[in-house]
Amino acid sequence: MKTNYELRYAANPQDAKQYTTERLRKDFLIETVFAKDEVNMVYSMYDRMVVGGAMPVTEALQLEAIDPLKQPVFLMRRELGIFNVGGKGKVKVGDVTFELDYKEALYLGSGEREVYFESVDGNKPAKFYFNSATAHRNHPDKKITKADAEVAELGSLESSNHRYINKMIVNQVLPTCQLQMGMTELAPGSIWNTMPAHVHSRRMEAYFYFEVPEDQAVSHFMGEVEETRHIWMKGDQAVLSPEWSIHAGAGTSNYTFIWGMAGENLDYGDQDFAKITELK
């Protein structure tokens, strides 16, 4: 197995206004989340969120404690949220093993325990997408399915944003320190997510887009309300969203994305909305 990681430093919104396409993609886009028998991570200075993916094919993959953590095991001072977006898989945590099917999630609390990812069938490998935030206390591990989620149906086909928001790792479903995650599924014929756009200066966010057809793409919008930018993304890619930035997208087909947040509160509704007509 192989573990890859990189650091991403925080950007001042005044500086980000001047970024080229190349610089925007370098600072915010995570192009490679999954690779055969690899664990890939980005350690972000936005609320110290770790965004990554593990794709075990021929062997189990360990979630190693990368050097920036300065800890013996990854979960020592961190909580972890995992979504399986591939074939059936298993996550071993200490002496306990959790089985995760497609679109099922797992929350792991902090503690001195090793984590291993494994596929049930290497020909149909599991793809474990994860977010991790710092944690000041331990909360119980828990598997979460869509049946456990708090689901909100929003938008309409007429406005091209009919979608289902599955709130899965949120405080209405289970206790966490600061991590929140969920999955938004767009209905066929709908392309827009997170409209009207908003910011929440108390929390950063990361988006992971999947179920994007190979010949299609998603244009992810970021930036301040009056200084927006866009990043073209393919399926199985992630993007970082600073606390000062909007986070929205429009695809050339419908798609699904996983959102993850970390910051100083757990209030999902803590959002500062902008009117669509105010965006520039």
24-43 pLDDT, tens digit per residue, is: 999 999 999 999 999 999 99
Residue 269 has pLDDT above 80, yes or no: no
Residue 201 has pLDDT above 90, yes or no: no
Q: Tokens 């959102």 appear where?
A: 259
Residue 254 has pLDDT above 90, yes or no: yes
Residue 140 has pLDDT above 90, yes or no: yes
CA gap 178, 155 in Å, rounded: 28
Task: Name the pairing type of β-strands 2-8 and 38-44.
Answer: parallel
Write down the mean pLDDT value for the chain.
96
Residue 46 has pLDDT above 90, yes or no: yes
CA gap 10, 12 in Å, rounded: 7
**What is the reported pLDDT for 28?**
98
Token pair for residue 92? Answer: 């071993």
Structure letter (DSSP) for residue 137: S
Nearest to 220 by CA among 32, 31, 84, 34: 31
CA gap 252, 192 in Å, rounded: 10
Residue pLDDT, tens place only, 189-198:
999 999 899 9
Nearest to 176 by CA among 79, 69, 47, 269: 79
